Structure 1
Amino acid sequence: MGVLSRCGVVLLLASGPALAGPGSESRWGLRWNAGPGCIQAAPLARAVEERLGRTVFGPEPEYLVDGVLERGGPSGWKARLSLVDVRGNVLGSREVSTREEACSAIEPRLLLVMALMIDPTAALSGPASTSPAPASPPVQEPPPEPSPPESPRPRPEAPGPRMGGRANTLAATVSAGAGFGVVPGLAGTVWFVPGEWTWLVRMSLYPYESYTKDGGRLLLVSTGAETGVCPVSVGEGAWSVSGCATAGFSLVFAYSQGYEQGRMEPLLRGDLGLRARLERRLTHGTALQVGLGAGYGWLRPTVRLLKPDGTAEDLGLGLPVQGSVDVGVSFLGP
């Protein structure tokens, strides 16, 4: 599985001795990771300097702002900023997030927090003006939610993959399943995220399956309902992977056709199993999905197979362990 490439730009390399703590005239560097379509390192550095009204990023920095911008689950964006000295010690960190879908929505908060980390006094005064200052400057209202960086931590925390499922998803798939053999079918799945974990409800239909033995023939039509919970759900950029535990029931109509006789009976099969989903986002509202499922038939009734010589044989309904493969399109909700 490919992973979204992330642009890592190091504007300035830290070297030289660090002071006891950051001051308003300290030299700064920036290391920044963000995906395509989001603000990159050079424009971000210029925007911070415009807000502070002076140049802060230069050669031989004494302190480094180390940041990463990624998708926040189940929607929006999240940035994590760490203040690092020349020896690599993390002096503090801060998270900035937004629930809006546009990546640019997080930029005002991001600029505010970075400016506060570098020079709180200048950050709260706003961008510098090129015109002469009036004799009695108006009082400027501070931006919302200004707060200093968090308390220093002993070591940096590497950002991990985003946990939790995607937003609510409806998937329409073409499925291949196993009864007595491999048969084609259709399936639809709803993936939803009521809390920290992703849940699924899957409906399937296998309209035709034929099984023969000793001249006797079974015709099977089955429809199934499956539900499950996905404690493993990892997303990285456009890719998403989920692992789920499931339980399901299938209603099977079996018609046994022997010599000048026939028998129709409805049967119920129950399975416990596992299901995995791999999803690749194509557009804002659609994604390509591949799903794999396997279940053990804990409820597996017998079906009667009539033979041409007038005898009959009772068989277990389907294989003890059955699997399915789904390939289709997901429609992503908000």
Structure 2
Amino acid sequence: MLGLSKLLAMAATVGLAAAPALAQGGPEAQASTASRTSSLSWVRLPGAEDCATAPELARAVEARLGREVFVAPRNAELSVEGRVAPGDGGGFTATFAVATAGGEVLGERELGTESEDCSELTATVAFVVAVMIDPDAEERDAPEPDTAPSEAEPPVETDAAAAAAAGNGQEQNQEQNQEPRITDEAALSGWSGEIDGGLGVAVGLVPEPTIGGFGAIVIQTPWFIAAEFNASLYPYSPQSVGTGDVHWLTAFGGFLLCTAELGLGAIGLRGCAGGEIGFLRIGGVVDPPQDHIVGHVLVRARLAYRPWKGLVVWTRPTLAINPATDPYGYATSPTATAGYTPETVAGIFDLGVGWIFD
């Protein structure tokens, strides 16, 4: 849990880190920090929905600084980017960085709390961000921030006369009308991974419904597209014929591209499309066994529920489209034959669990 002594220690660290830059600039540089503006991007990852939103965090920082700080990104001298997520051992962890408009990173911090009440961490983050924007903020008493949601965020005020004198007042006003004052929550742009496993029932792959298992690795890219690599095995499906049973075995490896997950709280939905190629063996009373190479075009939807940290439980209905439907013919005895024509579209219904590595 974050106590007062730890908070003061962090403030001292931030203040000392900013001191050399202020000393080099003299009184003018120190005065300029008191009027610096910033943009804010703040993301609550799944499991941290009860933590402060971007507007609430912005109000807490501005309350400590005693002025409006956050403006549209194009007009900001600094940028603050951060996220909050459930901690590995409980509580919450926040990571954020402050950089100049030119991209120079002024500081990066990771703060955590074991408390299940995220408001304590929000207050600490607001304090440290305020000090990183204006080091003199640590010497001020923090007023009570007004975190009640407002009907609309106030627009960024500009000095119209100064803008007109600079010859670009109209352009700045257009930018402020088009851009949000604060970059609110969005899907996190970054890499993450997921490992899945489960069981499924397939209808139409072979003559009888078959049960199998599968595993998958999903890689979420920064471009809001996920790549899935999977493997499945349906080891045994009997087909009764007059002389006994024909045994069907299928194994596949596949690749799909998926959309970004559309989420509502802990529930997410995504669509995928791709293909798989595999191996089909027809055995049992078929002697010698027959081996075939088969492939499918896959169209899939995935409905997932994330109940705790990185754990995810999901179901995946899939359509497997068979581009080749040539019949299989096989001898079941020296005097008897049988055959099977694959379905054009097979259905697969999976249930499984996975773990997401953010």
User: What is the TM-score of this pair, normalised by structure 2?
Assistant: 0.55
Give the equivalent residue in structure 1 for 2:177: 154
Distance, in Å, in 1 between the alignment partners of 2:229 and 2:297 is 14
Q: Which amino acid aligns with 1:332?
A: I
Q: Which structure 2 residues correspond to residues 216-235 of structure 1 after superposition, within 5 A?
A: 217-235=245-263
Q: Does 1:105 align with 2:130?
A: no
Q: Which amino acid aligns with 1:105?
A: T
Give the equivalent residue in structure 2 for 1:238: 266
Distance, in Å, in 2 between the alignment partners of 1:96 and 1:176 is 48
Is residue 215–residue 231 contact of structure 2 (8 Å, CA) maintained in 1?
A: yes
| Among candidates 160, 182, 185, match of residue 209 of structure 2 | 182
The count of corresponding residues between Structure 1 and Structure 2 is: 246
Q: Does 1:333 align with 2:332?
A: no
Distance, in Å, in 1 between the alignment partners of 2:284 and 2:313 is 39
Distance, in Å, in 1 between the alignment partners of 2:283 and 2:314 is 34
Q: Does 1:126 align with 2:110?
A: no
Give the equivalent residue in structure 1 for 2:300: 275
- 1:311, CA displacement in angstroms? 3.4
Task: Structure 2: state its 5+ residue gaps.
Answer: 1-33, 35-41, 86-91, 97-121, 142-156, 159-171
SS at match of 2:322: strand
Q: Which amino acid aligns with 1:284?
A: K
Is residue 82–residue 94 contact of structure 2 (8 Å, CA) maintained in 1?
A: no
Distance, in Å, in 1 between the alignment partners of 2:290 and 2:282 is 5
Give the equivalent residue in structure 1 for 2:309: 284
Distance, in Å, in 2 between the alignment partners of 1:202 and 1:156 is 41
Q: Which structure 2 residues correspond to residues 1-334 of structure 1 after superposition, within 5 A?
A: 36-39=49-52, 45=59, 48-52=62-66, 96-98=80-82, 101=85, 102=92, 104-106=94-96, 125-129=136-140, 152-155=175-178, 162=187, 167-178=192-203, 179=205, 180-196=207-223, 197-212=225-240, 217-255=245-283, 257=285, 262-306=287-331, 310-316=335-341, 318-334=342-358
- 1:49, CA displacement in angstroms? 2.5
Superposed CA deviations along residues 25-50 of structure 1, whole A, max 9, x for unmatched, are: xxxxxxx9976442378887566433
Task: Structure 1: state its 5+ residue gaps.
Answer: 1-23, 25-31, 57-62, 66-80, 84-91, 131-147
- The change in CA–CA distance for 1:198 and 1:241 in structure 2 (over 3 A counts) is same
- The change in CA–CA distance for 1:184 and 1:164 in structure 2 (over 3 A counts) is farther
Instruction: State, as a whole percentage, how many aligned pairs show the same letter.
Output: 14
Is residue 275–residue 292 contact of structure 1 (8 Å, CA) maintained in 2?
A: yes
Distance, in Å, in 1 between the alignment partners of 2:315 and 2:190 is 15
Give the equivalent residue in structure 2 for 1:78: none
Distance, in Å, in 1 between the alignment partners of 2:277 and 2:80 is 45
SS at match of 1:38: coil
- 1:227, CA displacement in angstroms? 0.7
Q: Per residue, is there more helix in 1 or in 2?
A: 2
Q: Which amino acid aligns with 1:280?
A: Y
Is residue 304–residue 312 contact of structure 1 (8 Å, CA) maintained in 2?
A: yes
Superposed CA deviations along residues 219-275 of structure 1, whole A, max 9, x for unmatched, are: 1011111111114433444333221111111211102527xxx44111111101212
Distance, in Å, in 2 between the alignment partners of 1:195 and 1:327 is 27
Is residue 48–residue 111 contact of structure 1 (8 Å, CA) maintained in 2?
A: no
Is residue 164–residue 232 contact of structure 1 (8 Å, CA) maintained in 2?
A: no
Distance, in Å, in 2 between the alignment partners of 1:203 and 1:268 is 15
- The change in CA–CA distance for 1:314 and 1:183 in structure 2 (over 3 A counts) is closer
Give the equivalent residue in structure 1 for 2:13: none
SS at match of 2:308: coil
SS at match of 1:319: coil
Is residue 190–residue 222 contact of structure 2 (8 Å, CA) maintained in 1?
A: no
Distance, in Å, in 2 between the alignment partners of 1:288 and 1:165 is 22
SS at match of 1:126: helix
Is residue 286–residue 329 contact of structure 1 (8 Å, CA) maintained in 2?
A: yes
Distance, in Å, in 2 between the alignment partners of 1:193 and 1:217 is 44
Is residue 228–residue 245 contact of structure 1 (8 Å, CA) maintained in 2?
A: yes
Distance, in Å, in 2 between the alignment partners of 1:175 and 1:281 is 20
Distance, in Å, in 2 between the alignment partners of 1:110 and 1:129 is 13
